[in-house]
Structure 1
Amino acid sequence: MNAGWPLTGRDVELRSVVDTVLGDAHRGVLIAGNAGVGKTRLAREAATDLAARGWAVRRVAGTSAGRAIVMGPFARWTTSAGTSRSAQLAEVVNGLKSEAGGAPLLVVADDVQWLDELSALVLHQLVVHELANVILTLRSGESASDTVFAMWKDDHLFRLDLRPLIRPESDRLVQRALTGRVPADFLDRVWRLTAGNALFLRHLVEQEQTSQRLTADGDAWRWVSGPVATPSLVDLVKLQIGDVPTELRDVVDLVAVAEPIEWSCLSTLVESELVEAAAERGLIEVTPDGAIIRAGHPLYTEVRWEECGPVRLRKLRGVVVKAMLAQRTGRPADPLRLGTLWLDSDLDPDPDVFAAAAQCACARLDLASAERLARAALAADPNDDARMLLAYVLHLSGDGLEVEALLSNVETSYPTTGFVNAATLRAANRLWVLREPVEARDIVERALGNSQGDISHVLRVFHAFQEAMAGQPAAARRDVEASDLSRLDPFGQVMGRCAETLAAGDMGHVRDASASAAAGYAVIEQAPQDSIHELGLAELHAHAQLLAGYLDAAAATADLHYVRCADVPGLTRAMALAMVGATALGCGELPRALHHLDAGGAEADDSDINGTFYRFRVTHVETLARAGRVRAAVALLDSTTAGRHAAYEYVDPAYQLARAWVAAARGRIDEARNICCRAAELARERGQWAREVLCLQTAVQFGFTAAEERLTALTGLVEGPRAQLATRYAAALAAADGVALDASSVEYELMGDRLVAADAAAQAAATHRHAGRRGSALTANSRAQQLARQCGGADSPALHSSRITLPLTQREHEIALLVAAGMTNREIATATSLSVRTVEGHVFRATVKAGVSGRSELSALISADNP
């Protein structure tokens, strides 16, 4: 940890304080804010800045204990004890001015709410008579001397109300105070407990370090959760909130065990006057409409939990549960809050309450609470329903072996029409957790063969999802069409829409994909408990739009659902970040793509379940390669390959494209072309025609000239502008038509894909140059480089080629780049599938054309032309 904590998130406020002191409009600043918000630190930083500018700075502070001592804060400047007030006042003022020695005087007074009247008058006289400037700090909600308030009310001082840090500022402060990557769950914990209070934040971080729960591990930090309310933190919080009467502690304790709690519930347990008094003290907070009550600060709750003890807490929770059930508000109690309170109370267990709470926790992706509640439900009543519920929770958590054990005790004829049943859950566990897609398909197909009625529709929809995940979109769509989704529960309906959206998008039927996604959103709107699947549906929808070439629509879809999920910690936020990153890549916004994919990947490292994030790591690899970050791309490709998930076969073409971009970034362009062509063939065999278009388009970017015929055929199968643009692009490259390549570049830019636009312009420049059209070549190259800069520094073989002014053929250029990369002729031969003799011939011809004498000079020339 750094020796001194940085001042973070206060740049604007610091400038405001300093500028006000230096200006003529006011004689200083009154900084007001809650305890621990950072008033003293801001005042200190401003004073340090002004001292460096030649100001004489003097500091005083009020204290609650010293308020009764007249002139206590200014004792060092007065020796006239027992003399008149005016004499003491004059002595202090003269002493301060004398010490300044002619320099402008700044007096910094901390906690002015605790100044005695005469000390406040010293500050007033300094300000009114323009003898000094002041910076005062005042705790909000506290009463200060009328003299202090007069300085602000009479406009001598500018008042700055200092707010707590917001979440990004809190994260940034912790990141800057610690060296290395900080776990996302620790940042979440810090934010949840401190709510932007800088004093609490610093104390909590240092406490976790001292306790060895937060430890450095290379360039990262490791954190193990533990108790928060240590004696030192309890003392700090109690110091901040002061003495609390017993009757108010009862209010705080009830809120602490049940927050957020409705006013209608709390008012049945304590007198409303006590609630109001606690709110005035800042011990609790009431929403503007007066309906909901929370603790005044998260750490107040932690402290009260520590001081109440387990017996009192259990009793209080039981009291709150009974009050919640007795309410007649017309609205049922929140199932998760009710079940959690009940489980930790002194009431007898209720399996139905625990089961409802566990289901609610699953919908909110609070899997730790869901497992605890589901286990409680099973312990209270060990039946098949409870076993299924716990198995489902453990499936989401990735505990595949225990899921299998639980399901082995469920009756094979388990009667259910819900989407989650013994067959689908066992298949899902085999597919995602145990990574056995063949066995998963066998389970569903055997069940289908023995089913009829509503359950057959359930199984067919699950089978459709399996087919879509396996990259068999036509089969998936047939399964959905053969199912009656109206006979499924909302969960099943949304899963059916997910399968249909994925399959239609892969086939290039973007209108069907969008219609299916819209139908899925409508189901979720009516059944918010199934909103767990909304982000996945949005991801599939956005990708269908990307494949088709509707890039603005894809970005809008991703951004909309990111806003809804950005505040949900863990895998949900990681996926929302990555979805935005993927659409940003499609639009050629490399810095934005990397920012979101880096952030999503970091969060997924701590929260990924069942390899769900694998598909986003594929996109991340491609983004790194296209941004020229070759080492990072290679490293991530290696780890992604090692973690390839058998369930996500539909992304195989995308995985191959990521490999191709890494190969291209390493100068192995022939290998990159071959990978793209094989990926296109794989997509063609599966009927993933929209993905095939993208694979062929990428091959054209790598110089492949035989894609036009197949792309022409695909324009009759795939909707959207991409297929038609890719066909014209391939035709232009095959014909070496520089003018047509220029036109393709413009078309891609208008579509929103600036990365392809840059490559097409670069290829146009090379084509014009070979044809002797120097002016056209310069224009096209200038456009290519400008587009690459707009993308945030795009890198590609085409862009490299456009920079080289030597009259090299495409193959000579590729091999020259590999020479510049330091590869031997034998290594180049292996990378390009050529013989060593053929490579030697290309190297020789390149050196002759370049007018250099050997490999080293050719390498230097190529490297200089491709910085």
Structure 2
Amino acid sequence: MADRWPFVGRVREAARIDSLVASGVGALVLGEPGIGKSALVRHVCERTGTSARAERVFGHAASSGTPYEAFAAVITSADGAVVSPAEVARRVDDACARPAGTAVLFVVEDAHLLDERSAQVLLQLAADGTATVLATALDTDLPTGVARLWRDGWCERIELGAMSDPDVADLIETVLDAPVDAVTAHAFAARAEGNPLLLRELLSAALDAATLVWRGTAWTLAGEPPVSTGIRELVRTRLRALPEQHRSALETVAAGEPLALGIAVELLGEAMVDELDAQRLITVRAGLAGPQLSSAHPLHGEVLRADTPPLRLRRIRLSLASRLEAAATPSPHDLVRAALWRLDSGQADDPARLLAAARAARSVRLDTAERLARRAHEVSGSLQATLLLAEILTHTGRTAEAKALTAALPPDSLTQADREALVYCAAMGQGLMTGDTAAGAELVAGVLSGVPAASNRLRGLYAALLAFDARSAQALDVAGPLLEHPAEYRAVDPVARTFAAIGGVGAQYWLGHTRRALELADAVLADAAAVREAVPFGAAGIELIACCALLDEGEFDRAEARALRLQARAAADNDPFAGPRAEYCLARVDLARGRPGTALRRLRRCLVALTPFDQSFVRHISSMLARAAVGVGELSGAAEALDACADAPRMKTYEPEFELAVAALHAAELRLPEAVDRAAWAAGVAADREQWNVAVAGYHDAARYGGARAVLLPLRAAATHVDGTFARCLVDHAAALAARDPAALDELARRFDAGGVLALAAEVAAEAAVAHAAAGQFRAARASAARSRILRARCEGVPAPWLAGAELAVPLTPRERQIAALAGRGDSDAAIAGGLGISTRTVQTHLARVYSKLGISGRHQLAARLAGEPVAT
């Protein structure tokens, strides 16, 4: 790893310090050691170009006792005791070279270690207006002069907390230059608690121990992440000085953390809990069932557990297990922990307790649920244990193993509910897991038609399979009675409602009824969350569709807020289904907002985090990843993403969007006629299946690639089925392109900008510049081109290649732009001719006209001129 880590995250804090420095106010950045205070200040200085002119001052942990120690360079030992802070400040000001009328930027590291006189000098410089101070310090007792910097208004306090889990994941992936699977990122984030210094130590230790390994697509942990020797010794040094009774109490907390406050008081005594809290050896946080105790830092607990003798640790945990199980209403999490402690101790022989814990574990971790269910199956061999294990195996993508397990069940022993459980496993395996949703739906339909008393759970499952088979109207017919009759709503089993909602919400979304989709999603989400142990993917899947509905309405802020809440819940619960779905939703927001690079990272993270159960979505996510790669100009990466999923299961509802990704790649390669045909064909397929939102997006893509006149009528027809105003904006865009109306394009660029659709706003402004130039309106063309440049600067990625040179406001024809872009990227005349199906002489004729219009003499100047760079003529 690099000696100096890249700077990631802290966007809000960095922007705040930027604005403060620009206005002449400083910042006092406070936080715990290693939290990234110095990195933030360094990043701000580098980004604003102030690093070179900044003066640096350091507090000293081991002070020499010299007056004005931080400014020793401007005083002598003889006058240090007699000069005043004002005099030292004047000398410092004289010693600093800077342009007249500007303030010195003072970067102060470890300001809490400054001696009082140095702190007074710093305050004097700020008060005189000769210095702007950027200081870092621990949030502890500060020297009077430093404290007055913010009390007197010369600095603003910036309290730097832990990095968020997504920022930790971004930092790890940036350092390793590759995706990291979600479980691994969560493990490092939890141990480091958002502290970059601890994260670096943990990551280095995992790489050195080969515990963090490359699996071909992502970095993943091959075992428990190790703690570096340095961190372990720091923790041990602090704990070594504790009295024996304190250490013993901490071992109990570490063995069972998080530990309910009531159990901790019962085991340790109220006085001991108070002492541990006063010494900051434990932390108390709110839990679902009340306050919970944990070690002051996750690494403290880890070191304590590693150092506790095994027999003592076993004794403590068995005692805790008994207390958790004896609770009047033990939480699912406590049931699971107690069962695992007994399993690890060789005492897990109670089938009923194991089954209860396994069912509870399905809402926590499927691998844990499988372990407990498998043990229950081994101990009892009961029908309930076998069926539960089969369902868990289905949810982890091992349908063949589930089928083999249930094949041995005696038919006479099965109840109607048991048979439906087997149908569920078979339908999910044949439908979602292979992408053959039609076969899965027919399997369920056969049972429903032959068994009048079949449960609503099967009907809900049938609705979900119909929706994913692009039979939305039929899905609504089946789901409607389970979802849309208020008088009967609460009488329906919440598991059945959850399945029905997956089908009903999805069907409404694909039909373009985004508002109704959102209403249904919000109505059923609480039920879906409550039955997560039975339908672990339900709530997350419904949230994903709701986010997509908001995106189709152009409600990007609401979609992003919803996706961020889903991401937070995924991190809190370690939910293997919610995590990748949140990344997908956020990536879709990023694509709309002109952040394809960020979207690319999210989609890569999403792909590697998919569970085996979710493999039917690989092809769709890969298509979105390809679109993001196109957005940043990684055409080979886009092609690889599309090729890599050629053999993945094909879900009927998502195939049109895969074809739209292929069309986007064709367009980026400037194979525009092929791109128009592919996009229009995919949109037509979506329209035939009544996936109106996909049809609108596809026809709009075809219009962007040059087919506006051909697709305008079907685009208008498709948009009439879709709620919200965003679809109308896309129709207006296609109409303006078809009419070559520069004024309409200018207005649309403003509308897209106001809605936060920055990449499209920049593209439309460039189209307006092209249209103005073609009409000879060169002043208006330059204004539109300038707007496009400003919008493009707010985006990531590369501009649309078919608009190459648009921001130059030069009247090139579409064919001239196409040939200029191909030549500018290095294609030979013969290669261009072969790709476009024209003669080499025609290519050369077009290029000659391009050179003349751009005011250049040949191909060697073309790329620079298209990029807007000045060239010598």
Task: Say whether the fold is shared (TM-score over 0.5).
Answer: yes
Match of 1:540 among 524, 530, 545: 545
Partner Cα distance (2:348, 2:219) in 1: 42
Equivalent position of 2:297 in the other structure: 297
Match of 1:692 among 671, 692, 695: 695
User: Deviation of residue 497 (structure 1)?
Assistant: 1.3
Equivalent position of 1:400 in the other structure: 399
Equivalent position of 1:666 in the other structure: 669
Partner Cα distance (2:584, 2:433) in 1: 22
Partner Cα distance (1:190, 1:544) in 2: 33
Q: Deviations for 1:305-332, whole angstroms, at most 9, x for unmatched residues?
A: 3344443333322212222344458988
Q: Deviations for 1:572-611, whole angstroms, at most 9, x for unmatched residues?
A: 333313212202323xx222x5325413523642554332
Q: State the SS of the aligned residue for 1:421.
A: helix
Asked if structure 1 preserves the Cα contact closer than 8 Å seen for 2:332 and 2:360, the reply is no
| Residue 781 to residue 287, structure 1, CA distance change in 2 (3 Å) | closer
Partner Cα distance (2:504, 2:367) in 1: 31
Partner Cα distance (1:746, 1:8) in 2: 31
Asked if structure 2 preserves the Cα contact closer than 8 Å seen for 1:412 and 1:422, the reply is no
Match of 1:489 among 493, 507, 520: 493
Q: State the SS of the aligned residue for 2:620.
A: helix
More divergent stretch after superposition (670-679 vs 352-361): 352-361
Q: Does 1:717 align with 2:715?
A: no
Match of 1:260 among 258, 261, 277: 258
Q: State how 1:773-788 maps to structure 2 within 5 Å.
A: 773-788=777-792
User: Deviation of residue 163 (structure 1)?
Assistant: 8.2
| Residue 489 to residue 351, structure 1, CA distance change in 2 (3 Å) | farther
Q: Deviations for 1:101-134, whole angstroms, at most 9, x for unmatched residues?
A: 66979xxxxxxxxxxxxxxxxx99996999999x
Partner Cα distance (1:156, 1:779) in 2: 49
Q: Does 1:679 align with 2:706?
A: no
Partner Cα distance (1:362, 1:337) in 2: 13
Equivalent position of 1:69 in the other structure: none
Match of 1:195 among 188, 193, 213: 193
Between Structure 1 and Structure 2, how many residues are aligned? 783
Match of 2:223 among 225, 232, 235: 225
Partner Cα distance (1:41, 1:742) in 2: 42
Q: State how 1:759-770 maps to structure 2 within 5 Å.
A: 759-770=763-774
Q: Deviations for 1:307-366, whole angstroms, at most 9, x for unmatched residues?
A: 4444333332221222234445898884333433343346452223222322332223x2
Asked if structure 2 preserves the Cα contact closer than 8 Å seen for 1:471 and 1:649, the reply is yes
Partner Cα distance (1:791, 1:685) in 2: 35
| Residue 412 to residue 712, structure 1, CA distance change in 2 (3 Å) | farther
| Residue 411 to residue 658, structure 1, CA distance change in 2 (3 Å) | farther
Equivalent position of 2:712 in the other structure: 708
Asked if structure 2 preserves the Cα contact closer than 8 Å seen for 1:361 and 1:367, the reply is yes
| Residue 550 to residue 7, structure 1, CA distance change in 2 (3 Å) | closer
Asked if structure 1 preserves the Cα contact closer than 8 Å seen for 2:758 and 2:795, the reply is yes
Q: Deviations for 1:188-232, whole angstroms, at most 9, x for unmatched residues?
A: 333333435677655544443443334689998664224747988
Asked if structure 2 preserves the Cα contact closer than 8 Å seen for 1:829 and 1:839, the reply is yes
Partner Cα distance (2:828, 2:143) in 1: 79
Equivalent position of 1:574 in the other structure: 580
Asked if structure 2 preserves the Cα contact closer than 8 Å seen for 1:314 and 1:346, the reply is no
Asked if structure 1 preserves the Cα contact closer than 8 Å seen for 2:339 and 2:348, the reply is no
Q: Does 1:369 align with 2:368?
A: yes
Q: Deviations for 1:763-807, whole angstroms, at most 9, x for unmatched residues?
A: 343334333343444444444444444444552255326347665
Partner Cα distance (2:113, 2:769) in 1: 73
The aligned amino acid for 2:580 is: A
Equivalent position of 1:46 in the other structure: none
| Residue 477 to residue 594, structure 1, CA distance change in 2 (3 Å) | farther
Partner Cα distance (1:479, 1:497) in 2: 11
Partner Cα distance (1:808, 1:240) in 2: 72
The aligned amino acid for 1:677 is: A
Partner Cα distance (1:792, 1:37) in 2: 28
Q: Does 1:336 align with 2:336?
A: yes
Partner Cα distance (1:820, 1:340) in 2: 63
| Residue 241 to residue 197, structure 1, CA distance change in 2 (3 Å) | farther
Q: State the SS of the aligned residue for 1:720.
A: coil
Partner Cα distance (1:748, 1:138) in 2: 43
Q: Does 1:213 align with 2:216?
A: no
Partner Cα distance (2:114, 2:822) in 1: 78
The aligned amino acid for 2:466 is: E
Q: State the SS of the aligned residue for 1:294.
A: strand
The aligned amino acid for 1:212 is: A
Partner Cα distance (1:723, 1:780) in 2: 24
| Residue 404 to residue 309, structure 1, CA distance change in 2 (3 Å) | farther
Q: Does 1:480 align with 2:479?
A: yes
| Residue 309 to residue 655, structure 1, CA distance change in 2 (3 Å) | same
User: Deviation of residue 479 (structure 1)?
Assistant: 2.9
User: Deviation of residue 381 (structure 1)?
Assistant: 2.1
Partner Cα distance (1:688, 1:441) in 2: 19
Asked if structure 2 preserves the Cα contact closer than 8 Å seen for 1:697 and 1:726, the reply is yes
| Residue 238 to residue 462, structure 1, CA distance change in 2 (3 Å) | same
Partner Cα distance (1:786, 1:156) in 2: 41
The aligned amino acid for 1:266 is: A
Partner Cα distance (2:600, 2:5) in 1: 29
Asked if structure 2 preserves the Cα contact closer than 8 Å seen for 1:213 and 1:223, the reply is yes
Asked if structure 2 preserves the Cα contact closer than 8 Å seen for 1:701 and 1:756, the reply is no
Equivalent position of 1:25 in the other structure: none
The aligned amino acid for 2:582 is: A
Q: Deviations for 1:39-58, whole angstroms, at most 9, x for unmatched residues?
A: 9999xxxxxx9xx9899998
| Residue 827 to residue 679, structure 1, CA distance change in 2 (3 Å) | farther
Q: Does 1:585 align with 2:591?
A: yes
| Residue 533 to residue 418, structure 1, CA distance change in 2 (3 Å) | farther
| Residue 166 to residue 474, structure 1, CA distance change in 2 (3 Å) | same
Q: Does 1:314 align with 2:344?
A: no
Equivalent position of 2:239 in the other structure: 241
Asked if structure 1 preserves the Cα contact closer than 8 Å seen for 2:683 and 2:696, the reply is yes
Asked if structure 1 preserves the Cα contact closer than 8 Å seen for 2:119 and 2:143, the reply is no
User: Deviation of residue 840 (structure 1)?
Assistant: 4.4
Asked if structure 1 preserves the Cα contact closer than 8 Å seen for 2:179 and 2:601, the reply is no
Q: Pairwise CA RMSD of aligned residues?
A: 5.2
Partner Cα distance (2:79, 2:150) in 1: 22
The aligned amino acid for 1:508 is: G
Partner Cα distance (2:714, 2:507) in 1: 21
Q: State the SS of the aligned residue for 2:804.
A: helix
| Residue 825 to residue 297, structure 1, CA distance change in 2 (3 Å) | closer
User: Deviation of residue 696 (structure 1)?
Assistant: 0.9
Q: State how 1:405-484 maps to structure 2 within 5 Å.
A: 405-410=404-409, 414-415=414-415, 421-437=421-437, 439-455=439-455, 457-481=456-480
Asked if structure 1 preserves the Cα contact closer than 8 Å seen for 2:607 and 2:621, the reply is no
User: Deviation of residue 667 (structure 1)?
Assistant: 1.5
Equivalent position of 1:599 in the other structure: 602
Query: Which residues of structure 1 form unaligned runs of 5+?
Result: 17-28, 43-48, 62-73, 75-88, 106-122, 142-148
Q: Does 1:515 align with 2:519?
A: yes
Asked if structure 2 preserves the Cα contact closer than 8 Å seen for 1:653 and 1:683, the reply is yes
Partner Cα distance (2:754, 2:142) in 1: 62
Equivalent position of 1:78 in the other structure: none
Asked if structure 1 preserves the Cα contact closer than 8 Å seen for 2:749 and 2:762, the reply is yes
| Residue 524 to residue 501, structure 1, CA distance change in 2 (3 Å) | same
Q: State the SS of the aligned residue for 1:291.
A: strand
Equivalent position of 1:352 in the other structure: 352
| Residue 391 to residue 733, structure 1, CA distance change in 2 (3 Å) | same
Larger Rg: 1
Asked if structure 2 preserves the Cα contact closer than 8 Å seen for 1:624 and 1:633, the reply is yes
Equivalent position of 2:93 in the other structure: none
Percent pairwise identity: 24
Partner Cα distance (2:8, 2:692) in 1: 50
Equivalent position of 1:26 in the other structure: none
